[in-house]
């Protein structure tokens, strides 16, 4: 089986790795470099379904993800997950009713104990004990390397311009450097995927969505000297310059604050 995977984000790297490991002849093509799309800017949380989630088509995948990441940790050099759990609060914790075995609702004292860097621990938070976090670029690169050990080829700086069809079948992809034949084409081009699929009559419901991400990096022990900007209850951040981080050097620790309708941190 000849597989062309279009796009080397986390999804394409995973597809290339799993296909090559299963014995397929794989070409992974990216218009830029692996993890150069949204993957590189991801918080890269790894978590299963939550008690408050309404089951949908993604629920079986959510159930599988924790065991799949553990498998990768065991078999793919360079894949490391920080299994430290996470805290979520605001609407999600307020509205949470049914806890899964790996979830618990906690109070401010417990939230402050788990995340001592919080200067104003939430009165009620959801502690997701089985969550993990990865370095998304490192994991993507590790999967690409592992795919290559199984014989996959990586083509970078090589945009795919169209999927080629013959007798109603996709038979490969057109790229800036020529045609790549395939028996299977996997389109993992992120937000660009609908543009590649539209000429085939597929209206792929994928579109970019806005997110605010603040990433702070500082030497270990930084909270003793500096508090990171905190989103206010309305989700607004204090004005730039109201707080300034120390110079980053030596071993560092990082915290990520994401505002997508919820406030959160890994612990």
Compute the Cα dihedral for 160, 166, 170, 171 and give only its sign: negative
Q: In the complex, what is the shortest distance from the CB of residue 254 to ligand FAD, in angstroms, rounded to a whole number?
A: 14
Where in 36-123 does DSSP place strands (E)? Answer: 45-46, 86-89, 103-107
Q: Minimum CB separation from ligand FAD for residue 145, in Å?
A: 16
Total number of residues binding ligand FAD (CB under 6 A)? 29
Least Cβ distance, residue 235 to ligand FAD (angstroms): 15
Whether the CA torsion 110, 115, 121, 122 is positive or negative: it is negative
Distance of closest approach, residue 65 Cβ to ligand FAD, in angstroms: 8
- The footprint of ligand FAD on residues 39-98 (CB under 6 A) is 39, 41-45
Residue 109 Cβ vs ligand FAD, minimum distance, rounded to whole Å: 27
Decide: is 118 part of the binding site for ligand FAD (CB under 6 A): no
Q: Assign 87 to helix, strand or coil.
A: strand
Q: Check residue 189 for interaction with ligand FAD (CB under 6 A).
A: yes
Q: Which residue among 2, 18, 25, 36 contacts ligand FAD (CB under 6 A)?
A: 36
Binding mask 209-228 for ligand FAD (x = CB under 6 A): --x-x---------------
Q: Which of 5, 6, 139, 163 lies at the binding interface for ligand FAD (CB under 6 A)? A: 6
Say whether 210 sits in a helix, a strand or coil. Answer: coil
Q: How far apart are CA 88 and CA 103, in angstroms?
A: 11
Q: How many CB atoms lie within 10 A of CB 237?
A: 15
Convert residues 140-179 into a mask of x (bound to ligand FAD by CB under 6 A) and - (unbound): -------------------xx-------------------
Which residues touch 178 (CB under 8 Å, ≥6 apart)? Answer: none
3-class DSSP assignment, residue 199: helix
Comparing CB distances to ligand FAD, the nearer of 64 and 119 is 64
Question: Can you spell out the DSSP letters for 152-195?
Answer: -EEE-S--EEEEEEETTEEEEEEETTEEEE-SEEEE--GGGHHH
Q: Which is nearer to ligand FAD, 123 or 198 (CB)?
A: 198
φ and ψ at residue 67, rounded to 5 degrees: -70, -30
Task: Provide the binding-site residues for ligand FAD, judged by CB under 6 A.
Answer: 6-12, 29-32, 36-39, 41-45, 159-160, 188-190, 192, 211, 213, 258
């Amino acid at each position: 089986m000849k597989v062309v995977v279009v796009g080397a984000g986390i999804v394409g790297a995973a597809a290339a790795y799993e296909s090559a490991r299963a014995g397929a002849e794989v070409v992974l093509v990216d218009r830029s470099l692996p993890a150069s799309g949204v993957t590189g800017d991801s918080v890269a949380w790894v978590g299963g379904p939550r008690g408050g989630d309404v089951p949908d088509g993604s629920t079986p995948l959510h159930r599988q993800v924790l065991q799949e990441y553990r498998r990768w940790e065991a078999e793919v050099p360079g894949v490391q997950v920080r299994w430290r759990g996470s805290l979520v609060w605001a609407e999600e914790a307020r509205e949470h009713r049914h806890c899964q075995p790996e979830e618990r609702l906690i109070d401010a004292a417990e939230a402050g104990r788990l995340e001592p860097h919080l200067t104003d621990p939430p009165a009620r938070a959801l502690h997701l004990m089985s969550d993990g976090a990865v370095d998304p670029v490192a994991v993507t690169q590790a999967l690409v390397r592992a795919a290559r050990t199984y014989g996959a080829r990586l083509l970078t700086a090589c945009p795919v311009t169209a999927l080629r069809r013959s007798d109603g079948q996709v038979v490969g992809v057109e790229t800036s450097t020529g045609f790549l034949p395939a028996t299977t084409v996997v389109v993992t081009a992120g937000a660009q995927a609908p543009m590649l699929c539209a000429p085939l009559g597929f209206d792929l419901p994928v579109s970019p969505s806005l997110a605010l991400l603040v990433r702070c990096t500082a030497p270990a022990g930084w909270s003793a000297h500096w508090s990171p900007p905190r989103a206010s209850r309305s989700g607004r951040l204090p004005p730039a310059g109201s707080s300034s981080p120390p110079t980053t050097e030596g071993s560092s620790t990082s915290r990520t604050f994401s505002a997508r309708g919820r406030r959160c941190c890994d612990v």
